[in-house]
Amino acid sequence: MPEGDCTTYRAKYGTAVSESEAEALVTGICFKTGPPRVTGVELEWLIHEPDRLHLPVSPARLEAAYAALRALPLHSLITVEPGGQLELSSLPAASLMECISAASADLSLVRDRLATLDLTLTGLGADPWRPPSRILHRPRYDAMERYLDRTGPAGRRMMCSTASVQICLDAGHEEPGPLGYGRRWRLAHLLGPVLVAAFANSPVQAGRSTGWRSTRQAVWASIAPETSAAPSLDAEPRKAWARHVLDAPVMFIRDSGALRGDDDADQAPWTVPDGLTFRTWARSGGPRPPTRDDLDYHLTTLFPPVRPRGHLELRMVDAQPGPDGWIVPLAVTSALFDDPQAAETAYRTVKPLAERACPPGAPAAPRSPLWLDAARHGLADPELREAAVACFAAAGDALPRMGASAEVQAAVAAYAERYVARGRCPADDVLDGHLAGHTDDHEHEKGILR
């Protein structure tokens, strides 16, 4: 690019990044280390009329509802997924209980406001009735849909019909040990299938049993691995993730209006390249050189089960039943990562699972044998059940040390007794009601057959 063109480009779009600069940036920002002390949660929900989960809600009505929610005095961030799912993202909290209290208060306000609009929220990992239908028509989602459609229908279903509990934890200490970032990174990938199995809650799609306890996880496993797979666990985490990011295909290249922040940029389609990795883009400089902003945007288009964003974002847990069901996976996971004794117990428990979680030559998570078995069978898998029993026990012991309330401790203990000890998960409750032709008193089952 001639010098004059370079000057004009920098003035319009920012400074281009080279391959080595991009690698250094990713290495520097993906694992920000320090004593684990900050917790967050991102809660996704299906939205519908009470007891009428099978009926779609019009886009206009959803837009009006979300406008009303954004006017509430919330501490959490309200966003909308492409299919209309509500996402509530907490602010980073200094403790587990601070996170639970803040998110619970915001959810209470949200539910009360939705009730006045004859709408409600349900926690299910995948919509059991309604087909995927996108209500957000913006360049990002238009381009994402075109990219994902190249490998089949799973991408659209992921965008429009799934919901999760995403747990955000500090990356960990710089040095080795139970709370070191290297150990926590590996723990997240070995514990991940246990969390998938214990909290699976999406066995129905299009009104029929799918054969998976977590259909949501099966959907993610069907997306192109370049977009949804974990990097190698055999290499140093920072280097492995940086290499993974640079070698991943670029989902889309934003148009010049979007780069300038123009209000009318939403009307311009974005380019969807075919097989262009960020590394190749940085080397070639075409169709225009990538910038730091492009790199940041590229990072948001990668969806592995554990995503390092300075902190660790664990993305494998289905949305949970009931208004407070999300608290149990948040509490259990936080305890197994942030309490040193529980973290050591959890790591010793799940370390033998590596033979199935990431065997040599097998696909990476979420397509490896153990991840798929967790999604299909839940805790009916004996090895996963045994690991879950030990991990829940360690978490239960740790919660008092972490200052968890009696109510949170009781909720974890009740979940362990109802599900984990019996080799069950919430999906089994859904299937019991679905196959028997009736529902029980669980909120997530009300309306599934109506």
At residue 260, the pLDDT reads 52
CB proximity list for 161: less than 8 A, separation 6 or greater = 83, 126, 127, 130, 131, 132, 205, 219
d(CA 378, CA 391) in angstroms, rounded, equals 15
Average pLDDT, the chain: 91
Please determine, for residue 447, whether its predicted confidence score (pLDDT) is greater than 60.
no
At residue 5, the pLDDT reads 42
Confidence of residue 2 (pLDDT cuts 50, 70, 90): very low
Closest CA to 147 of 250, 303, 251: 251
Please determine, for residue 368, whether its predicted confidence score (pLDDT) is greater than 60.
yes
Confidence of residue 360 (pLDDT cuts 50, 70, 90): confident
Please determine, for residue 267, whether its predicted confidence score (pLDDT) is greater than 50.
yes
d(CA 122, CA 124) in angstroms, rounded, equals 6
At residue 69, the pLDDT reads 98
Lookup: tokens for 123: 């926690």
Mean pLDDT score, 221-250: 95
pLDDT digits (tens, 9 = 90+) for 283-292: 998 789 999 9
Taking every pair of Cα atoms in the chain, the longest distance, rounded to a whole number of angstroms, is 72
Please determine, for residue 421, whether its predicted confidence score (pLDDT) is greater than 70.
yes
From residue 208, how far is each of 31, 131, 197, 295, 428 by CA, in Å?
41, 12, 20, 41, 14
At residue 71, the pLDDT reads 97
At residue 184, the pLDDT reads 97
pLDDT digits (tens, 9 = 90+) for 42-51: 999 999 999 8
Closest CA to 408 of 284, 341, 351, 325: 325
Q: Looking at the whole model, is its pTM more than 0.85?
A: yes
From residue 435, how far is each of 127, 203, 300, 430, 439 by CA, in Å?
17, 11, 39, 9, 10
Block residue for tokens 């940041």: 296
pLDDT digits (tens, 9 = 90+) for 152-210: 999 999 999 999 999 999 999 998 888 999 999 999 999 999 999 999 999 999 999 99
Query: Please, what is the Cα angle at 120 between 116 and 123, to 5 degrees?
Result: 160
DSSP state of 265: G
d(CA 318, CA 212) in angstroms, rounded, equals 12
pLDDT digits (tens, 9 = 90+) for 121-158: 999 999 999 999 999 999 999 999 999 999 999 999 99
Confidence of residue 258 (pLDDT cuts 50, 70, 90): low
User: How many CB atoms sit inside 10 A of residue 180's CB?
Assistant: 18
Helices (H), 71-180: 96-116, 139-148, 154-161
Mean pLDDT score, 24-48: 93
Q: Reduced to 3 states, what is the DSSP secondary structure of residue 86?
A: strand
Provide the percentage of residues in the chain whose pLDDT is more than 90. Answer: 84
Confidence of residue 237 (pLDDT cuts 50, 70, 90): very high
Strand partners, 164: 318
Lookup: tokens for 92: 């980073």
Please determine, for residue 249, whether its predicted confidence score (pLDDT) is greater than 80.
yes
Highest mean pLDDT among 14-23, 32-41, 103-112, 437-446: 103-112
d(CA 339, CA 394) in angstroms, rounded, equals 10
d(CA 306, CA 17) in angstroms, rounded, equals 26
User: How many CB atoms sit inside 10 A of residue 158's CB?
Assistant: 24
97-101, 190-194, 269-273: the lowest-pLDDT one: 269-273
At residue 6, the pLDDT reads 40
Q: What is the secondary structure of 223-256 as a DSSP string?
A: S-HHHH----SSS-HHHHHHHHHHHSBP--B--H
Mean pLDDT score, 111-125: 98
123: exposed, middle or buried (Cβ count in 10 Å: 0-12, 13-18, 19+): buried
From residue 105, how far is each of 70, 100, 427 by CA, in Å?
15, 8, 27
Mean pLDDT score, 227-255: 94
Highest mean pLDDT among 3-17, 97-111, 127-141: 97-111
Closest CA to 276 of 226, 234, 218, 233: 226
d(CA 67, CA 61) in angstroms, rounded, equals 10
Strand partners, 253: 271
At residue 177, the pLDDT reads 87
Please determine, for residue 442, whether its predicted confidence score (pLDDT) is greater than 50.
no
Please determine, for residue 407, whether its predicted confidence score (pLDDT) is greater than 70.
yes
